[in-house]
Each structure stands twice: as C-alpha cells, then as structure tokens.
Amino acid sequence: MTPRREPILNIPGALTALLLGLAAIHFVRALLPTDLGEWVIWVFGFVPARYDLPMSDARFPGGPGAAIWSFLTYALLHADLNHIAFNALWMLPFGSAVARRFGGARFFAFLAVTAIAGAVAHLATHPHEVAPMIGASAAVSGAMAASIRFAFAQGSFLSFRRPRDVDSAAQVPALPLFQALRNPQVLIFLGVWFGINIVFGLGSIAIGSAAQSIAWQAHIGGFLAGLVLFSLFDPVGPVADRAAPSTDAFDGGDGAARPRDDHP
C-alpha cells in the first residue's frame, strides 16, 4: 500500500500562535475609542520623522522608548482585517516551512530581526516621513527569503519531487548563499518577487476606505536580511557538511557518503 502523504500546509504551533496573536492585537485595538486607537498607532508604529527631533520632543507620543521599541512593535499592528489576511496568506506557506525548520524560539527571533531590518530600510529611504508604518510585511518577506534557501532543494517543499512528509522537507540541507543565487529557480523567484514589490510599491493599495502606499523598501530590507542572515538561525547543517564522504567509503568499509535555497 502506498504510504499516505502528509499535506504540505501543516501549520506549526509557533506560526499558529503568531497569527492568533496578531489577530488578537488588532481586535483589541479595534475595540478602543478612536483617539486611543490612533495613539496606539503613533506610539507603537514606526515613524521615521521621530528621529528628526530630540528624543524628549513631545510632538510624537511615546518618547525615547517609542524610538527604540517601534523598530519592532510596528510589525504587530495592522490597518484592518484585509491587511492581516494578506500578510497571513503569504506567511502560511513560507512561514510554516521556516517555523518547522527553525523551531519556535529561533522562528520568533528570526522574524524580529527581519522586521527590524525592514524598519531600518524604511528609515533610510524615508528619513523625514511622518506617516506611521505598520504591518508584518517585512517579517513575511524575511520568511519568504529564508524558505527559498532550502525549499527548492530536492525533496523539499518546492522541488519537482513532492516530499513524503513536511518534517523531512523542512530539514533538507540548505545551499550556501552564493550557490543558491546561481539556482535558476531561485533567480526566477527573486526576479518575480522584486518586480512585484517595485511595481506595486510605486502605486498604492486600498487599506480600509483609504489608499495607503506600500512600504516596499521595508519589504526588501526584511527580505535581504532573511536571505543573508538565514544561516545564523539555521539549525540544520549546510549541504557541504553532509556531502563529505567517510573514509570507510574509500577502503571497502560500509560507511556511505551522504551527499539545499529566500523570498517575497
């Protein structure tokens, strides 16, 4: 009898907790009076213009603390349910792969780093912007970038041969960065992802009843951080470590030589 294949989209507990947490934060904020809800956005959203002023300046609420924590907390806020749903839609396939590979603690730490990288990129490209930036898109982009470091490898999620189970697919050794960047599938993915972000980023999308610009530079910052920093978080040995043949393989022993790619 043919072994039963597990579904590719089998959501790990860490990702489920993340999505439920983002939804809960949004619903709590939605229940607040309008003025208090806007105050939350100003205090926890990322406002580049905040850094034009002395940290003691009261024109932006939150003070010196907000100048620090908003590099991360902006990613916990969303404009509306459509905004959350859009990010969740992209996070489900790519975040599931990364969460299964990294485990909960590494997964959350990785998303935090890529969210911070997105805020840094936004600050560098919008140094005097007054409008708060919110949303987990930079972290989603980081997860997409991390996933392509291994997801196109044979036996992983995006390989031509479908994996028999998601756990095995998530543990396929990753290729070194520069080798991954020579993979045609990865290059196509990168070209499409960067093209979509730049094209749509030059326009706007509807968030609720208003048109909001897309912080595409933050997406790219999160993506590049995920692509480059992946190996610092990856608990699975690189492909080179697994490819080295044992000495027994050359002298008749029964040791066998054992003989991996990011983003939105």
Q: Give the pLDDT confidence of 202-222 residue by residue, as tens digits.
A: 543 433 334 456 778 899 999
Specify the pLDDT at position 247: 35
Q: Does a structural domain hold residue 263? A: no
Mean pLDDT of the chain: 78
State yes or no: pLDDT of 156 exceeds 70: no
Query: What DSSP string runs through the chain?
Result: -PPPPPPS----HHHHHHHHHHHHHHHHHHHS-HHHHHHHHHHHSB-GGGGGS-TT-SSSTTHHHHHHHHHHHGGG--SSHHHHHHHHHHHHHHHHHHHHHH-HHHHHHHHHHHHHHHHHHHHHH-TT--SPB--SHHHHHHHHHHHTTTTTSTTSTTSSS--S-HHHHHTSPPPPHHHHTT-HHHHHHHHHHHHHHHHHHTSEEEETTEEEE--HHHHHHHHHHHHHHHHHH--SPPHHHHHPPPGGGGTT-S----------
Q: Does a structural domain hold residue 97? A: yes
Q: 220, 124 in Cβ contact below 8 A?
A: no
- Gyration radius (Cα) of the chain, Å: 21
Q: Does a structural domain hold residue 253? A: no
Provide, rounded to the nearest whole percent, the portion of the chain with pLDDT above 70.
71
Q: Does a structural domain hold residue 192? A: yes
How does pLDDT run across 110-126, given as a tens digit for each residue?
Answer: 999 999 999 999 999 98
Looking at per-residue confidence, does 245 or 72 come out higher? Answer: 72
Least confident span in 151-160, 175-184, 245-254: 245-254
Q: Does a structural domain hold residue 206? A: yes
How does pLDDT run across 4-53, given as a tens digit for each residue?
Answer: 454 445 789 999 999 999 999 999 999 999 999 999 999 999 999 888 86
Looking at per-residue confidence, does 30 or 176 come out higher? Answer: 30
Q: Does a structural domain hold residue 246? A: no
How does pLDDT run across 88-110, given as a tens digit for each residue?
Answer: 998 998 999 899 999 999 999 99
Please name the residues in contact with 106: beta carbons below 8 A apart, sequence gap of 6 or more: 233, 235
Specify the pLDDT at position 154: 63
Q: 127, 247 in Cβ contact below 8 A?
A: no
Specify the pLDDT at position 259: 33
Q: Does a structural domain hold residue 201? A: yes
Q: Does a structural domain hold residue 255? A: no
Looking at per-residue confidence, does 83 or 105 come out higher? Answer: 105
The domain total for the chain is 1
pLDDT band at residue 242, thresholds of 50, 70 and 90? Answer: very low
How far apart, in whole angstroms, are the C-alpha atoms of residue 183 and residue 197? 21
CATH at 146: 1.20.1540.10
- Per the structure, the complete domain to which residue 106 belongs is given by 13-240
Least confident span in 6-15, 143-152, 180-189: 6-15
